[in-house]
Amino acid sequence: MKQRLLYHIRSFGYALSGLKVLLLGERNMLIHLLATLVVIALALWFRLNTERWCLLLFAIAGVWIAEAFNTAIERLCNVVNPEKHPIIKQVKDISAAAVLLAAIAAVLTGILIFFF
């Protein structure tokens, strides 16, 4: 039982370490952090109801999760093949497109929440 608890505590430590790597090592994450803080401030200012908060948080989380996976995929690709390779480029481009799609969806969600 004690070993399982330690395992779970370590898992959270690994996750927090990954978050630290994202925030300190990825320029785009700082942009996402700034956008997140602005959106949260606006949501507090407009006193959004619970449903709108949930939608907003899902949109924010979607962008953060997409960026985290994009970063992980890019770093793995760099280790697997440090040389330029057309398939590796496609993989990186596709994972970057996922972040773009999540960000567009988040912006559209924000527009709907704040203006309609």
Indicate which CATH number applies to the domain containing 37: 1.10.287.3610
Average pLDDT of span 20-45: 95
What's the distance, CA 11 to chain centroid? 19
The one catalytic residue in 26, 67, 74, 83 is: 67
Confidence of residue 1 (pLDDT cuts 50, 70, 90): confident
Q: Which long-range contacts (CB under 8 A, 24 or more apart) does 36-42 make?
A: 36/60, 36/64, 39/110, 42/114
pLDDT in tens, 40-74: 999 999 999 999 999 999 999 999 999 999 999 99
Question: Is 83 a catalytic site residue?
Answer: no
Sequence-separated (6 or more) residues with CB below 8 Å from residue 22: 29, 67, 68, 71
pLDDT value for 75: 96
Count of domains forming the chain: 1
Q: 100: domain range?
A: 2-115
pLDDT value for 96: 97
Cα–Cα–Cα angle for 96, 53, 46, nearest 5°?
A: 110
Please give the mean pLDDT across all residues of the chain. Answer: 95
Nearest to 79, CA basis, from 67, 68, 92: 92
> Please, what's the b/e burial string for 84-106 (b: 16 or more CB within 10 A of its CB; e: otherwise)?
eeeebeebeeebbebbeebbeeb
Q: What are phi and psi of 26, to 5 degrees?
A: -120, 115
CB atoms near residue 111 (< 10 Å): 10
pLDDT value for 5: 83
